[in-house]
Chains A and B, each alone.
Chain A
């Protein structure tokens, strides 16, 4: 089983595709050819994210984020940045933080987990992702490849 996983999380709504775009770049440039690396696009996985974290040594998670920053800004979150999850969990609205918090409580997090957010602009349903997010996703894909010591063939 692969020990390294790159997971891009998103939905079809505008810039919310940021994680998918990063993964698309990696796939288009041959990242999947490295048998020890799994690269996957996930559509709002909820609790299904947790099994994908298990039995991995290194997981790179890329998702869209919304804050007050400029669209396309990339931020890396370390575990100490995660806020305490103190809401109730439900079948609906079970987001990435809920899944990571649940995995952490079960000691199911991989030894290394890199969580990246790409700041979004419009996430309206039916919109195409904006140029800033497309460019950020490509930049992040290159950075991830460099970190994994994999050369991408553009």
Chain B
């Protein structure tokens, strides 16, 4: 007969997540007595920094919030302010915003798959160990990541904290020669992305069926990235301005990040949530591929998140190539904007999920107050819920190291923006 043991696992520093967090797990008499994902990074006060700033400064300022997904912050802010100011982007700028955003999805997803998540599933401590047993796959991943960076650089002048976006469009337009070169690279990368999907689909993952609500932006004609309403898997469909009527942020004593709930329950944002809600908007070629590999959507297994990212890499390459077909250099890459007072609200799909911005603006075009709801805080309650359910499904009688690794895998499924080190759990066990 198995003894029902008591274990306390304290992870003082969560690495491989942007910022500083920790995990506390206490098992008593074979049951989970305590499970908390603690985010203890000090607040960064970005919203406060924005107060008083002119609207022309906002895209560059919010790009500084994240080194991995600056485009998401820029495009969401621009979308919100353009909507308030009544700015209608011309078709060129609208299409190129999506292309720019695709670059970020490509680099962020590939980085996460190859450097952060995949080593777990091959028994490797980090990507270096993975590279020893799968050098071609890691090299391919870095090539894809590099192409995403190039695409961001094309429209943003640099891939980290780019500076290309302005209210009304872009500061500049790439030359036809650069676009031709990029199109060749995107075309060459599509088969690589297909191979990546097949590789990701072949990675054995735990079977972990959970019930949760998926939330993502939705668009009537596109797989939503840079525009759309907010939708949920229970049928909700609202404009971004109705976010507060359905989603609530609250403080929890153990976290400096806010917890979000949807109708008082945790919810999922990110690649798997997007695929769950928007898979019918995937191009036919990728739907055929998914059928071929047996990836059935919607999925209730968060361990499909790595595969979901691979699928979105393919999609982003495809979309960028499609939108750059017939590229022309516009007469002007931007249209003028005239500020007005009011409340600007926007939402887009950052690589890690729904990103929502709200700015109250005065009539001089300066920020009175700002509020930014990033994906990781929205996923925080879901991560805790997932850890609990997944650990129970996994079994609590496993050795401490196996429990710790399982927790790490679960957390990494969400690609939380609390990065630092691959195997982030420093384990103290109390018996």
Which of A's residues lie within 8 Å of B, judged by CB?
43-44, 47-48, 50-51, 85-94, 98, 101-102, 105-108
Residue of B at shortest CB range from A87? B421
Which of A44, A48, A101 interacts with B128 by CB under 8 Å? A101
B139 touches A108 (CB 8 A): yes
B149 touches A48 (CB 8 A): yes
CA distance A92 to B417 in the complex (A): 10
B142 touches A88 (CB 8 A): no
CA distance A107 to B135 in the complex (A): 8
**Contacts A90-B419, A92-B67, A106-B138 given; does A47 touch B126 at CB 8 Å:** no
Chain B contacts with A in 92-116, Cβ cutoff 8 A: 111-112, 115-116
B interface residues, tally (CB under 8 Å): 31
A89 touches B115 (CB 8 A): yes
A88 touches B424 (CB 8 A): yes
A90 touches B422 (CB 8 A): yes
A interface: dominant SS: loop
Residue B15 interfacial (CB < 8 Å): yes
CA distance A90 to B15 in the complex (A): 8
Q: Shortest distance in angstroms between A105's beta carbon and chain B's nearest beta carbon?
A: 4
Residue of B at shortest CB range from A93? B420
Which of B's residues lie within 8 Å of A, judged by CB?
15-16, 18, 67-68, 111-112, 115-116, 125-129, 131-132, 135, 138-139, 142-143, 145-146, 149, 160, 419-424
25 contacts across the A-B interface (CB closer than 8 A):
A44-B160, A47-B145, A48-B149, A85-B128, A86-B125, A87-B126, A87-B421, A88-B126, A89-B16, A89-B115, A90-B419, A90-B420, A91-B16, A91-B67, A91-B112, A92-B420, A93-B421, A98-B128, A102-B128, A102-B131, A105-B128, A105-B131, A105-B135, A108-B135, A108-B139
Which of A47, A86, A92, A106 interacts with B135 by CB under 8 Å? A106
A106 touches B139 (CB 8 A): yes
A90 touches B67 (CB 8 A): no
Which of B67, B146, B422 interacts with A89 by CB under 8 Å? B422
CA distance A90 to B115 in the complex (A): 7
Residue of A at shortest CB range from B147? A51
Please give, as numbers and ranges, the residues of chain A lying within 8 Å of B18 by CB-CB distance. 91-92
Please give, as numbers and ranges, the residues of chain B lying within 8 Å of A105 by CB-CB distance. 128-129, 131-132, 135, 138
A89 touches B128 (CB 8 A): yes
